[in-house]
Amino acid sequence: MKEKLALMIPGPTPVPERVLKALSQHPIGHRTPEFQEIVKKTTQLLQWLHQTEGDVLTITGSGTAAMEAGIINTLKKGDKVICGENGKFGERWVKIAKAYGLNVEIIKSNWGEPLEPEKFRNILQADNEIRAVILTHSETSTGVINNLEAISKEVRKHEKAITIADCVTSLGACNVPMDEWGIDVLASGSQKGYMMPPGLSFVAMNQRAWKASERSDLPSFYLNLKSYKKTSDKNSNPFTPSVNLYFALEEALNMMKEEGLEKIFSRHNRHKEATQKAMEAIGLKLFAAPGYGSPSITAVEPKDIDADLIRKVVKENFDILLAGGQDHLKGKVFRIGHLGFVNDRDIITAIASIESALNQLGALKEPIGTGVATASKILFKENRV
């Protein structure tokens, strides 16, 4: 029943009916006091979600637009920057930085392994000309969460460098206290923890980022954040914004506020634990190094069987869409998205379906039910906030 397809991919994530309903209202004029009210309210809620007193600017565009905006508004051509690269989105940072003529030094880890904060520390200590450290928090392609807190704290000790972070699949799923961790530029996108359809993205900028923007000379117009800042201060937008997605944003942020940050983070943590422990219990290997599984997405590397075959059976029999592997991981991993509007039922269902599919394919090494039993224990054991 393809009409009943459930999304368990790392974006778009499921969208609550309340949000879809808000989305489908008749548009209003974007230069009206009514719309200004929405901009004002969503901006305040975005600051709450980012745990920042800095600016959070809303762009009509994908997460990549927000990432690019972060770079082109704070750096100068030829600037030396460090990019962390341990997956597809780390690679994207490198591509963006190079497209604008930055002098990029790459700190790599193998896909599946986290970035090592010591490597950043060493390079930062050795070179006081570095202008930015650019990295991905939750690497969607591999399910690895990098230690953004440690790395951005290293950056803070440096004279000139700022931290630019892709928090596209971490924000709204796990704790990313922007001000406390000292993240200077933070990019995120609506189709992830926000529980919204894709189409809006967000760039948070603190005072250090704005200071860096004064010497920036990279060309921009649509993604010129000074324009967004100027209009945001008047509760408006520089260009026609995606009005209906703003309706959805307001409703989604209301829902997040009602749930509260602590509960949101504990829910994602519970779902991560249940998913990851269940996959291991049924004999599947997690792709992310131990201790570095993302709260948003779990990449699983089944041995002896094509990962896409598992996805196919899960989709055909149970109408659950899992994500495949990207680039060289194609067919080697499948990825379970567990971020945003996801409840315990979704988790237990996904695990039961994967187990059942493996069983049907003759590839389940443990008694059927092992995964569900494991997840079940975790889902009930954990003290819910």
Closest C-alpha among 85, 185, 178, 179 to residue 132: 185
Mapped onto helix, strand or coil, the DSSP state of residue 62 is: coil
Q: Does 234 bind a second copy (CB under 8 A)?
A: no
- Of 35 and 120, nearer to a second copy (C-beta) is 35
Least Å distance between CB 114 and a second copy? 24
Q: Does 7 bind a second copy (CB under 8 A)?
A: yes
Which residues partner with 84 through β-bridges?
107
Report whether 179 contacts 53 (CB < 8 A). Answer: yes
Least Å distance between CB 240 and a second copy? 5
Q: Does 62 bind a second copy (CB under 8 A)?
A: yes
Among the listed residues 44, 53, 78, 101, the single contact to a second copy using CB under 8 A: 101
- Of 5 and 385, nearer to a second copy (C-beta) is 5
Distances (CA, A) of 75 to 25, 31, 103, 127: 40, 32, 11, 17
| Tokens read off for 266 | 């504990």
Q: Does 112 bind a second copy (CB under 8 A)?
A: no
Q: Does 297 bind a second copy (CB under 8 A)?
A: no
* Interface pattern 120-159 for a second copy (x via CB under 8 A): ----------------------------------------
Residue 62's region, left for phi above 0, alpha for psi from -120 to 50, else beta, is: beta
Q: Does 325 bind a second copy (CB under 8 A)?
A: no
Report the distance separating Cα 91 and Cα 329, nearest Å: 14
Report the distance separating Cα 49 and Cα 26, nearest Å: 27
CB atoms inside a 10 Å sphere around CB 26: 7
Residues 6+ apart with CB under 8 A from 371: 278, 279, 281, 282, 351, 352, 354, 355
Among the listed residues 95, 211, 230, 384, the single contact to a second copy using CB under 8 A: 95
Distances (CA, A) of 247 to 34, 62, 73, 233, 343: 11, 17, 28, 19, 23
Q: Does 14 bind a second copy (CB under 8 A)?
A: yes
- Of 100 and 202, nearer to a second copy (C-beta) is 100
| Tokens read off for 357 | 């599919």
Least Å distance between CB 62 and a second copy? 4
* Interface pattern 181-220 for a second copy (x via CB under 8 A): --------x-x-----xxx------------------xxx
Q: Is 215 annotated as a binding residue?
A: no
Among the listed residues 54, 143, 241, 293, the single contact to a second copy using CB under 8 A: 241
Residues 6+ apart with CB under 8 A from 312: none
Among the listed residues 12, 172, 193, 293, the single contact to a second copy using CB under 8 A: 12
Among the listed residues 39, 56, 82, 96, the single contact to a second copy using CB under 8 A: 96
Provide the terminal-to-terminal Cα distance of the chain, rounded to the nearest Å: 36
Which residues partner with 144 through β-bridges?
139, 293
Report whether 83 contacts 90 (CB < 8 A). Answer: yes
Where is the binding site for substrate, in residues? 335
Residues contributing to the site for a second copy (CB under 8 A): 2, 5, 7, 9, 11-12, 14-15, 20-21, 23-32, 34, 60-65, 68, 95-96, 99-101, 189, 191, 197-199, 218-224, 239-245, 321, 323-324
Where is the binding site, in residues? 335
